[in-house]
Amino acid sequence: MDGDAQRAVRLADGRELIYFDDGPGHDRSARDRRDLPPFAPSSQLRLDPLLDEWVIVAAHRQHRTNLPAADACPLCPSAGGRRTEIPAPGYHVVTFENRYPSLGGPPAGGRCEVVCFTDEHGSSFSALPDRRLATVARAWTHRTRELSRLPGVRYVFVFENRGDEIGATLQHPHGQIYAYPFVPSRVARAAEVARRYREERGGCLPCAVVAAERAGGRVVAETGRFVAFVPEAARWPFEVHIHPLRHAASLPDLAEDEQAELMALYRDVLRRFEGLFERPAPYMAHLDQAPVGGDAGLAHLSMRVFTPRRAADKLKYLAASESGAGAFINDVLPEDAARMLRVAGSSGPGAV
């Protein structure tokens, strides 16, 4: 990696910001001249004794920025006398500590970072060119490695939310990274199920699932080294899992060309989501990776993308069964969802 393509600076309140550029030769010397109070997150961790699950309490987030106008976006570059979270007048990709984090500080530990994919406010991840996808992959990989080294961090969670319908409070193209001081319960349960499978049958459970899905009828798209499919037991109306065909536990385990292939397939899936209806589908996406210090043989890297939009004018809500009992009910047959996503990739909006 060219050292000039990556530079770390400090914001006015002491938070770290890192520029990841598509190439060298960019001036990132601008200073943050805002008058900000010292960064002092005050989140708490509380254990639910009945489920043995950690709950994060972050009351300070009540005051975070919520759906600002485009000319007041804190993720746009600083320009024209307006000062934002990014001091430079332009950027490619940046990561920085969240000003209103869910985690961080002595009470809770961990860390939360924002990842901005472009300085173009009206763009989207699906519109990023190949070179920018490579820069995002480099940023995600770098932060996964570095955050995994922080004392007390047990799991690094890379994710992206888009759309008011799923609670995104900023419309600028961005994602986040949470460095949890614990292993989230869903991740821990997946590891336990994979361990039981290995003990009883041998081998890797996610690898077996990938092989079965490739032989089924729910594959949406496939490249030489990755496959995207709607899982047999999809919880959401349109849900796609992207897996490498070889066993890899985390993003840093992939070579640069593999990362490029993964990112291109992720972009392809997002474009298919956009082609489902007359308007872009809100979505949530995340990377599943191995816990820090966990058994890498039990974890299989994957990306998961899903939307609560079940029809052009209907959303799926997490009602009593999902929110109360934890039992999902899907309104769309996974085989139909896979077919619609395959068609959407070639026929554009409204294809069914």
Domain boundaries, the chain: 3-182, 186-347
Interval 67-80: pLDDT, tens = 899 999 999 999 98
Residue 279 pLDDT level (bands cut at 50, 70, 90) = confident
Question: How many CB atoms lie under 10 A from the CB of residue 140?
Answer: 24
Tell me the C-alpha distance between 238 and 297, whole Å.
29
Interval 19-38: pLDDT, tens = 999 999 999 999 999 999 99
201 CB-near residues (< 8 Å, 6+ apart) = none
The alpha carbon torsion through 227, 228, 233, 236 (nearest 10 deg) reads: 160
CATH number of 186-347: 3.30.428.10
Interval 101-119: pLDDT, tens = 999 989 899 999 999 999 9
Residue 239 pLDDT level (bands cut at 50, 70, 90) = very high
Residue 345 pLDDT level (bands cut at 50, 70, 90) = confident
Whole-prediction pTM: 0.94
Tell me the C-alpha distance between 88 and 30, whole Å.
5
Tell me the C-alpha distance between 292 and 295, whole Å.
9
pLDDT recorded at residue 104 = 94
Q: ∠ CA(336), CA(339), CA(342), 5° rounding?
A: 150
Tell me the C-alpha distance between 43 and 110, whole Å.
10
Interval 79-106: pLDDT, tens = 988 999 999 999 999 999 999 999 998 9
Q: Report whether pLDDT(350) > 60.
A: no
Residue 351 pLDDT level (bands cut at 50, 70, 90) = very low
> Tokens for 194?
């994979």
Q: Report whether pLDDT(349) > 50.
A: no
pLDDT recorded at residue 310 = 94
Q: What's the topology of domain 3-182?
A: HIT family, subunit A (3.30.428)
Amino acid identity of residue 190, one-letter, is: A
Q: Are 337 and 277 in contact (CB under 8 A)?
A: no
Residue 4 pLDDT level (bands cut at 50, 70, 90) = low
| Partners of residue 7 on adjacent β-strands | 19
35 CB-near residues (< 8 Å, 6+ apart) = 12
Four-residue CA torsion sign, 48, 52, 54, 55: negative
Can 174 be counted among the known catalytic residues?
Answer: yes
Residue 307 pLDDT level (bands cut at 50, 70, 90) = very high
Interval 178-237: pLDDT, tens = 999 999 999 999 999 999 999 999 999 999 999 999 998 999 999 999 999 999 999 999
Q: Report whether pLDDT(278) > 90.
A: no
Average confidence (pLDDT) over 281-300 = 93
Q: Are 188 and 157 in contact (CB under 8 A)?
A: no
Average confidence (pLDDT) over 251-264 = 97
Residue 63 pLDDT level (bands cut at 50, 70, 90) = confident
Q: Report whether pLDDT(153) > 80.
A: yes
pLDDT recorded at residue 65 = 87
The reply to whether 186-347 shares the fold of 3-182 is yes
pLDDT recorded at residue 280 = 86
User: CB-side exposure of 180: number of CA atoms within 13 Å?
Assistant: 20
> Out of 174, 241, 243, 286, which one is annotated catalytic?
174
What's the chain's average pLDDT? 94
Length of the chain: 352
Residue 343 pLDDT level (bands cut at 50, 70, 90) = very high
User: CB-side exposure of 240: number of CA atoms within 13 Å?
Assistant: 29
Interval 39-60: pLDDT, tens = 999 899 999 999 999 999 999 9
Average confidence (pLDDT) over 254-270 = 97
- Using a pLDDT cut of 70, give the percent of the chain over it: 97
